[in-house]
Amino acid sequence: MAPKIQNILFKNGTPVPALGLGTWNSPPGQVTQAVKDAIEVGYRHIDCAHVYENEHEVGAGIAAKVGPGNVKREDLFVTSKLWNTYHLPDLVRGALQVTLRNLNLKYLDLYLIHWPVAYREGDVLFPLRPDGKRVHFSDVDYVDTWPAMERLVDAGLVRNIGLSNFNVQQVQRVLNVARIAPATNQIECHPYLQQAALSEYCRGQGVTVTAYSPLGSPARPWVKQDDPVLMDDPVVRKLAKKHSKSAAQILIRYQIQLGHLVIPKSVSKERIASNADVFGFELDAEDLAQLGGLERNGRICPESFSFGHPHHPFEAEFRKGRR
C-alpha cells in the first residue's frame, strides 16, 4: 500500500491530492485497469481530457471503485479539459456534458481550458488544413470562453475551473476578466523544461501549477531516437542512487517540493504504486539545485499544429530555441 498522498490547497481552500494519475497517451484497453489500480493503491486524483479519447475507460474504472465498501465519489478529485474546438461560449456546456456522460459522473472537481488556441468548431478534434500540418483556426478569444466556464460552476456541474498551457500574459488576461479566478494552470514541467518564471508568476497570483509530463514522456508518439531521455540523465540517476529511489520517484518528488501538483502517467500497477511512494523522503537543497541546473528548454508538447495562431502560448520561444 502506497503512503497516504498529501494534499495541496487551492487558493479558494479546496484540498487537492498533490499526486494524480495522468491518462494522456495511455494505450486503449488499459486505462480502466490503470484507474482501478490507482484507486486501490491510494490515488484519489485522476486527470483526463476529452481529446485523449479514453474518458469512457476512465469512467468505467471509477465506476468499478465507487460504491459501498469502496471509495465515495466525494473522495475523488477528477479533472477534465475543454478541447480547442469548443471555445465558442455556446458550446462549452455541451462539451462538458459529453465528458460527464463519458465519465459517468454528475460533476467534475476541476475543468480546464486545455489550450488558449481555438480551432474551427465541430467534432473533428484536429480540423486539418490541406497541407496536413496545421489546423483551421477559430477566432474565438479565450477571455470570452472564461465566463462560460464560470457558469458551469454556478450550475454545480464543476467545482473548480482553471487553465492549461497558458503563458504569463494569457493567465493575466483571464485574471483581468475573471469573476471566479482560475484555480490552476496545468503546464508541461520537468527538469529539461522548468518554466520557472511562469511557475513563479502563477504562485504570486494564487494560481497553483499542475505539472504534466514530469518524467519527460518517454513514450510520446513523436519521440525521436536521438531525443534525450530524462530518466536516464546522469544527474537523475545519481540522485536516485543517493536516495535509494527510482528515477521516476526523484522527478515526481522534485515537482512536489516545488509546490506543484503532479500527474505522472502509467498503466503498470507496480509503477503506479511506486510513483506514489514519494512522501517518505526529501530532496535537499543541493539535490534541488542539481535538478534545476538541467534546464534545456526541452519542450515535449509544442502544439505545432497551431503554430501561427495568434493565441499560441509559446511558439515564439519554441522557434527562438530552434534558431
Q: What is the pLDDT of residues 56-73, one digit of tens each?
A: 999 999 999 998 889 999
**pLDDT, mean of residues 101-117:** 98
State percent of the chain over pLDDT 70.
97
Asked if 52 is an active-site residue, the reply is yes
Q: What is the pLDDT of residues 132-156, one digit of tens each?
A: 888 999 999 999 999 999 999 999 9
pLDDT > 90? residue 228: no
Name the one residue in this structure whose C-alpha cell is 490541406: 130
d(CA 192, CA 218): 13
Q: What is the CATH number of domain 17-320?
A: 3.20.20.100
In sign, the C-alpha dihedral spanning 27, 30, 34, 35 is positive
Q: What is the pLDDT of residues 195-222, one digit of tens each?
A: 999 999 999 999 999 999 999 987 777 7
Position 248 scores a pLDDT of 97
Task: Return the bridge partners of 194, or none.
Answer: none
Which class for 165: exposed (0-12), middle (13-18), buried (19 or more C-beta within 10 A)? Answer: buried
| Sequence-ordered list of residues with C-beta below 8 angstroms from that of 180, at least 6 positions apart, any chain | 149, 150, 153, 161
Query: 3-class secondary structure for 226-241?
Result: CCCCHHHCHHHHHHHH
Average pLDDT, the chain: 94
208 φ/ψ angles, rounded to the nearest 5 degrees: -70, 140
Helix axes 89-103, 142-154, angle to 10 degrees: 50
Helix (H) or strand (E) holding 142: helix 142-154
| Sequence-ordered list of residues with C-beta below 8 angstroms from that of 217, at least 6 positions apart, any chain | 25, 223, 265, 300, 301
DSSP annotation of 305 reads G
Position 323 scores a pLDDT of 41
Sheet with 21-22, strands from edge to edge, namely 21-22, 45-47, 77-82, 110-113, 161-164, 184-188, 208-212, 261-262
| Sequence-ordered list of residues with C-beta below 8 angstroms from that of 298, at least 6 positions apart, any chain | 192, 193, 216, 228
Cβ neighbours, 10 Å, residue 136: 14
Q: What is the pLDDT of residues 263-320, one digit of tens each?
A: 999 999 999 999 999 999 999 999 999 999 999 998 999 888 899 999 999 988 766 6
Contact 292, 197 (CB under 8 A): no
Is 114 annotated as belonging to a binding site?
Answer: yes
The strand pair at 208-212 and 184-188 is best described as: parallel
Q: What's the one-letter identity of residue 61?
A: G
Which class for 289: exposed (0-12), middle (13-18), buried (19 or more C-beta within 10 A)? Answer: exposed
The strand pair at 184-188 and 161-164 is best described as: parallel
Confidence at 224, pLDDT banded by 50, 70, 90:
confident
In sign, the C-alpha dihedral spanning 143, 149, 153, 159 is negative
pLDDT > 90? residue 49: yes
Helix axes 168-177, 196-204, angle to 10 degrees: 20
d(CA 49, CA 83): 8
One of 43, 52, 142, 192 is an active-site residue; which one?
52
DSSP annotation of 183 reads S
